[in-house]
Every structure is written in structure tokens, then in C-alpha cells.
Structure 1
């Protein structure tokens, strides 16, 4: 063996040790990176599980479809909460105070949402088409269009979730509750219309008809335990569009009829008011005259009562005194007074007045 070969053999293990060390270094670096990645992934998963429930909401966590918690504890209130990421956990949000609206699907003629927003309606055909036009029948067997808009809110979230509603992929769908309330509105509209006459629904007692529909919807919601509360029921009613002009004529005639009655009542009230005022004035005048006459009579009676003793003592003297008083009052403003005393023989005196003749009038030239 040469010297060169003797000196080369010890270098092979050193080369292998360097490769092993490099591999170990690489593995250690990879494990550190994987460790940090796993820790970061855990933090990301934990952070992704936080969610917020709004002040007008309740939330329920479904773990593999099963609600977490019992009774009221399953309902999460407003604030920050945490759950495992989907699809392990699913967060179902429930708008408990937000007002929901649903409209009946029976009783109204065919239209579109675009027409509703624009305030227009499709042209009326020659007759009502029962295949596309809805209607209700009144108690007097007339056909009209009518629909109800129901406003409600959820007050029992557990019932709304597990009995009538559905939640998928973090989104809460109110289709179940909405359909149930809509069916109640349809039932109430048809049943109530059959108990009212057409005139009452369209004009005479529309408020009563609307209240009756709302009461029926509330009764059905409470009876079926839908977990909602009815806030408002707004009803629209209209005559068939094919008979619009006829109903308009009837409405105009009714308005004229009511106007004539109101005018007659106003005239009656005016005449009665004037007659009452005159009667009151006459009564007051008569009462015033009566009071004045009674007062005068009472005064005269009192005066005669005071004079009665004097008259009873000496009637002749009393008569002379009263005559003198009367003559004095009568002759107060007379300038010339002539007093004729009674003759001793009792015979009446004669008073003769010597009056000169009137002087003749001179004759004028015009009257010879």
C-alpha cells in the first residue's frame, strides 16, 4: 500500500459526518417552521371562531347540527362570542326585534313587483280571469280584490328556529316563519271577507273589516304557536277593475246622498238654533215682564194695605185727601188755576166763559 493511499482513507468518515449534520440541520429547521406554522394555524382557527351578535339579534351555535346549551342558555345575546369553524359549528342568527313584513297571496289581481314599485298596474281585461286574478267573495256574494300586509317580529327565537325556520351556512332564512304568517293572512282575508258586505268593505266599515282581519291573523298565530307577534295589519280593498266606472257612479251617488243629508241636517240645526234663540228671547222678555208686573202689584198691594186703616176710619175724608193729592199732581204744571168752592145750598155752580169772536179774515185780491 502506498503512502498516498495510507493518508487518504481517514477523510471519508468526515465527509459523511458533514452530510448528516447538514441533513439534521435541515430537518431541525423544517420542524421549527412546521411548528410555527401549526401554532399560527391554531391561532388563525381560534381567531376565526370569534363572531359578534348585534343588539337586535339572538344567535344559536349548532355543532354538527345539534344546538349547544339548554333552554334560554342556547340563545346568545348581543356581544362577542366564539365557536369552532364551519362545518363543525354553524352560527344561526335570529333577528328578534327587526320588523318583518309579509303580504297575502290571495285576493289581488295579477301584478309584478316592478309595477308595484312604479305605482302602475296591468291593463284590465274584458273580464276577471280566475286563473291569474285573485279575489275574495263577500257576505252578499259579490267579488272584490283585497290583500293584507302583515308586520310582525320574532318573540320566541327557539320556536322560530326549530319549528318553522331554517338556517344554513351562517345565514338565517325566515322562509318558514314567513310562509306560516302568510298562510294565516290568506285564511283571515278569505274568512273575514265572507262576513262583511261589499259596501262595508269598500266604504262603509272599512276600518272594522281591517281590524277583523288583524284579529283573525293574531288568533291563528297564537293558536299555532308560531313564536311571532303581530305588530300591524294593513288591508287594501278594491272593486273589480272591469266594474270601476260602475262602482265610481255608485260611490258618487252615495257621496251626493250623504252631502244632501248633511246639508239638510245643517239647515235643520240652523233653523232650530234660530228658533231656540227667539224662543229664549221671548221667554226672557216674558219673564222680565212677569217679574216687573208682580213687583208693581206687590208694591201697589203694600201701599193699599197701608192706606186701608185710614180709609176705614173716615172714608169721605180719605177720599177728599186722595182727590186733593191727585189734583195737585195733575195741576202741577198748569199756569192758570180756577177754584170753585161748593155752594152752601149744595147746588152746582155754573161757570161761563166769555170768548170773543175770531176777527174776520181780510179778503185778498185773488179771492174777491
Structure 2
């Protein structure tokens, strides 16, 4: 069968070399089961190869794509150099593509993560576990070289200072942080150390430790911001926590001074509060007294004016008949005095005869006796009326 197939193929090649001929003149290959099986096998193989090729193409295209997460940015390096110019180099969150390595390489940079860096130059060595428990290392009267960190203040005193900085990468300048420096974390640590030494050189130990810590901390922050901007590090500072401490050998003395100053401030605040309260109360009392005085003064003026008017009106009557005026005034006065009296006693003149006048001062007993007398009189009157009716 293979010889027949080979002869048919040779005959077909001859026909092609000799020019176009009627293909119907070529005898068809023998139709048998082997030929059909071979054709089906070739068709299946070609289909499988096509599927494999399509899969490889899809896999290749998929391998060229990558996604950038919301909390990161990315940059494509083509033969080690960033692709694009300026902000075009930064790939924002989303779907992007890149040629396979080693032609292009994708570098991802996390910008949503908060990072921390600690200063190392101005603090005494302490075990982290002891620090959590509040335990301090033993106090010595000297500083150990290469072990005890310290700073020198503006007034020439030795003290300890350290800072903890939290920062994030600036998405627009993250490439500076990633590619412009060999060790950006070490650079930020040196910036923090430099800022502490700089601030200490511009403040006294007293101010830095307890008297004006806010100004010292602000000096550190301003120096850090200046150096980060100058070196174009590409980070955004979130917070800087600054701590200061006197040397351990004199820490107790400083604590006593702080305690005394705190007590003094408390006493001063209490005194000022008491003074304000007392002054406010005195001012309120003074205002009340003044208001009462003005009211009383106005009242007296009105009374005096009324009395003056009354006297002025009575003057013609007095001038006309003084005795009659006196008697009338006496009668009016007595009437006014006796208006609310329960009992009135008229005592005639003694006419030269010595007399003794006794007055019962127990008013309640007199009222009780008077009420009894009234009740008795009422009862007698009722009984008299009853007997009269019987008759």
C-alpha cells in the first residue's frame, strides 16, 4: 500500500513540474482503512498542535500583564532603566503590561504602609524588655564611650535625647526613595540623628528636658522636614515623637526639681483660682451694695420730697392757727398709731394726784380670756333666748 501511495505522490509531482493538467486524470489513491486512519490521526495532531499554540499565545499575553494594588505603585525597568519620563515612570493602581524578563522588570513599591525609623545617637543603652517594665540601667557617674549616647546642649550640659519617626512614601516621589539611595532607611536615621544634635545645640538642657519641651520638639521636626526636602528623599512624615532625659546619675535630682515645680504650679493655680473666686464674689457683693444704696437713696429722696411737700402744704394752716393745727395733727397721728391696735386705753390727766398704772403685758392670755368671755356671753344669750321661747 505504501508503494502505491508513493507512486501517486511522484505522479502528482511530475504533473506539477510539467504544467497544469486536469487533476481528474490523476488516479485517486486507493481508499482503504489505513489511509483514512492516517488522515484522521494527522487531523487530530494538527488540532492538538493548534490548541497548544493558542494556549501558549494566551499564556504569553497573560504573562505580559500585571496589576498594581491600591496601596502600591510600580515602575518598569527596561534593561535596568525606568521606562518613561517624570511622572510617566510611575504606574498607578490598575492593570498594566510589560515585556518579559530580562528585557523589562517590574518593581513594586508599597506606599500605603506606615514605616518607622529610630534615632541611635543620643540615648543610653537599655534592654527593650526592661524599658517596657520601666526599669532603667544602673546610674554611673561617667559615660561609657561607644556605649552611652548623648548630646550636648546650648549651655554645655550633657543630656540624652532620642526620636521615633513614622513616615510613608510619597507616591509622586517614591522613585527617589527606591532608586536614588543605597539605603534610604539608614539615610532617614542619620537625618533624625542630625536633627536631634542640631536641636540640642540650640536649646539649653533645662528647656529641652522639662521647661520648654515643645520648642525643642518643634526644632527637631523642622530640621527633619528641611533635610528631607533638601535631599529629596520622597517621604511624608506622619509623626515624630521626641524624648529627652537628664543623665541617669542626676535623674533623681531632676525628678525632685520637677516635682517641686509641679507643686509650685499647683499652688499658684489654686491661689489664682481662689483669688478669682474671691474677687468675683466681692465684685458681686459690691454691685449688690451699690444697687441697694442707690435704691435706698432714691427711696429716701422720694420720702423726703413727699414730707417736704406735705410740710409745705401744712404751713399755711399752722400759720393761721397753730393750736388748732397741733390738735388736728395730734388727732391724725393718734388715729394712725391706733389703727392696728387691739385695745385702746384713754388715761385722763392726773391733776396733781399721784396714780399707779398697771398694764397686762401677756397679750396671749388676754386674748384667750377675751375669747372665753365672748363664748360665755354667746352661751348666756343663747340660753336666754331658749327660755324666752319656752315661756
Q: Would you say 1:254 and 2:253 are equivalent positions?
A: no
Q: Structure 1: which 5+ runs fail to align?
A: 1-12, 18-23, 168-173, 340-350, 359-368
Which residue in the other structure is 1:327 paired with?
330
The question of whether the paired residues in 2 share the 8 Å contact of 1:102 and 1:149 is answered with yes
Which residue in the other structure is 2:319 paired with?
315
Residue 64 of structure 1 and its aligned partner are, at CA, apart by 0.8
SS at match of 1:107: coil
Q: Does the C-alpha gap of structure 1 residues 300 and 100 become closer, same or farther in structure 2, counting only changes over 3 Å?
A: same
Choose which of 269, 288, 293 in structure 2 pairs with 1:286.
Answer: 293
Q: Which moved more, 1:174-183 or 1:211-220?
A: 174-183
Whole-Å Cα distance in 1 between the matches of residues 297 and 273 of structure 2? 35
Choose which of 195, 211, 215 in structure 1 pairs with 2:202.
Answer: 195
SS at match of 1:208: helix
The question of whether the paired residues in 2 share the 8 Å contact of 1:135 and 1:144 is answered with yes
Residue 65 of structure 1 and its aligned partner are, at CA, apart by 0.9
SS at match of 1:165: helix
The question of whether the paired residues in 1 share the 8 Å contact of 2:177 and 2:234 is answered with no
Q: 1:1-368 to 2 correspondence within 5 Å? A: 40-111=55-126, 114-115=128-129, 118-119=132-133, 123-124=137-138, 126=140, 127-157=142-172, 159-161=173-175, 163-166=176-179, 176-307=183-314, 310=316, 315-317=319-321, 319-332=322-335, 333=338, 335-336=345-346, 352-355=351-354
Say which structure, 1 or 2, has more relative contact order (CA 8 Å, 6+ apart).
1
The question of whether the paired residues in 1 share the 8 Å contact of 2:177 and 2:235 is answered with no
Deviation track 1:39-88 (CA, whole Å, cap 9, x = no partner) reads: 65554443333322111211111011122223332221112222223332
Q: Structure 2: which 5+ runs fail to align?
A: 8-37, 339-343, 358-391
Residue 123 of structure 1 and its aligned partner are, at CA, apart by 2.4
The question of whether the paired residues in 1 share the 8 Å contact of 2:68 and 2:93 is answered with yes
The question of whether the paired residues in 1 share the 8 Å contact of 2:208 and 2:216 is answered with yes
Whole-Å Cα distance in 2 between the matches of residues 197 and 28 of structure 1? 92
Which residue in the other structure is 1:171 paired with?
none
Q: Which moved more, 1:294-303 or 1:270-279?
A: 270-279
Deviation track 1:125-164 (CA, whole Å, cap 9, x = no partner) reads: 523224122112222222221112222222254x432x44
Alignment: residue pair count: 318
Q: Does the C-alpha gap of structure 1 residues 195 and 357 become closer, same or farther in structure 2, counting only changes over 3 Å?
A: closer
SS at match of 1:139: coil
Q: TM-score, normalised by structure 2?
A: 0.67
Whole-Å Cα distance in 1 between the matches of residues 355 and 174 of structure 2? 131
The question of whether the paired residues in 2 share the 8 Å contact of 1:150 and 1:233 is answered with yes
Deviation track 1:5-57 (CA, whole Å, cap 9, x = no partner) reads: xxxxxxxx89x99xxxxxx9999999998887666555444333332211121
The question of whether the paired residues in 2 share the 8 Å contact of 1:107 and 1:136 is answered with yes
Q: Does the C-alpha gap of structure 1 residues 325 and 101 become closer, same or farther in structure 2, counting only changes over 3 Å?
A: farther
Residue 91 of structure 1 and its aligned partner are, at CA, apart by 0.9
Whole-Å Cα distance in 1 between the matches of residues 203 and 237 of structure 2? 23
Whole-Å Cα distance in 1 between the matches of residues 44 and 124 of structure 2? 75
